[in-house]
Amino acid sequence: MSKYPLNLKVLNRQQAFNGFVFLLLALIIWVAYFQNFQQFSIYREDFTRVPLIMQWKWTQIWQYWLPFFEVIAVEEGRPLHTGLIYVFARLGVQFGGLPAMYIIAYFVNLVHVLLFHRLMQRSTQNAFFCTH
């Protein structure tokens, strides 16, 4: 019988370092871009989108996504760009308005940075990116 009832695996050095890098990147993104998010307003390029989406219902967003292949032609090769802005903005409205939109944006940015870090880990032997 094991001393540990759930058979918990002890973190090795590699996993601990990866966890540290994750937390460090999350902290850097928060401090650099989002620490004062409650004082943020809408960016200039979002003046035409976000107030409109704050009034839309989910059915209207669904209507935007229905003609997906037509949207591809209109959106200059970025078919998901505007639609995802609409979805995330609507989620932000549901969860607390403009501050919630910025929290969602933080997590989107965090995912981007972590994916980029993982790509660099796999493609280079640079000591900063390579952790094995």
pLDDT tens, position by position, 16-43 = 777 888 889 999 988 888 888 777 777 7
**68 within 8 A of 105, measured Cβ to Cβ:** no
Domain residue spans of the chain? 44-132
Q: Give the angle subtended at the CA of 52 by the CAs of 99 and 96, to the nearest 5°.
A: 25
Which positions ≥6 away from 61 have C-beta within 8 Å? 53, 83, 86, 87, 90
Amino acid symbol at 73: A
Q: What's the pLDDT at 69? A: 61
Query: 3-7, 49-53, 94-98, 114-118: which range is least confident on average?
Result: 3-7
Q: Is residue 48 predicted with pLDDT exceeding 90?
A: no
Q: Confidence band (pLDDT; 50, 70, 90) for 98?
A: confident
Which positions ≥6 away from 82 have C-beta within 8 Å? 49, 71, 75
**37 within 8 A of 100, measured Cβ to Cβ:** no
